[in-house]
Homo-oligomer: A and B are copies of this chain.
Amino acid sequence: MRRFLQSRGPINAEQALEIAAQFSPKLLAKNEFLLRKGQVCDDYFFLDHGLLRAFASDPDGNEVTTAFYPSGQTVLEVSSFFNRTPSQENIQALTDCAGWVISFAQLNALFHARPEFREFGRGVLVQGFAALKSRMLAMITNSTTERYEELLHSSPEVLQHAPIKHIATYLGVTDTSLSRIRAGAKGGGKA
């Protein structure tokens, strides 16, 4: 947990321990929801181990996976959490999960009391923003095959635990198409 806090900002060990003391441990069983659509997200959740996915429903009622959260990530629906508005998304555990949480009120109290934690909080937002931007750029410039292989390389655990259908919507293709891509991508690259 201290590693988490120190990973993104200038926080020394002592400060990290004091900040960490404000968090509560949280466990999620596989398939359990961290957040359901319509709720206001109130969990700022540091995931120690496990895997979650976020998903929304499009107008036709189809689920679209908007994110996967591997261990080491901070899991929350940013807009709902900070704006205190009902979430458009669900966040569900793909495996048993464990980590630590604090509420919006607790987070703000910590930000107020500890400038160095503010830096950390800002880093979480900035990092998430940059990751999303990079994903958007890949969506525009890379082929589906390339995006699939990049996911395979960067987060192999997702392939282990998420059904193809969810991965397909995350990549922006149908499960049919992804299945073909998997079939063709066997022998190492495009050939």
Total identical chains: 2
Shortest beta-carbon distance, A164 to chain B, in Å? 16
Is B169 a contact of A140 with CB atoms below 8 Å?
yes
- Given known contacts A132-B136, A136-B135, A136-B136, A126 and B64 CB-to-CB distance under 8 angstroms: no
Shortest beta-carbon distance, A35 to chain B, in Å? 14
In the assembled complex, A130 has its CB within 8 A of some CB on chain B: yes
Q: Which residue of B lies closest to A138 (CB)?
A: B58
In the assembled complex, A1 has its CB within 8 A of some CB on chain B: no
In the assembled complex, A137 has its CB within 8 A of some CB on chain B: yes
Instruction: Give residues of chain A (45-67) contacting chain B, Cβ–Cβ below 8 Å.
Output: 56, 58-59, 62, 64, 66
Among candidates B128, B135, B141, B169, residue contacting A58 with C-beta atoms closer than 8 Å: B141
| 9-residue interface stretch from A21-29, A78-86, A92-100, A154-162 | A78-86
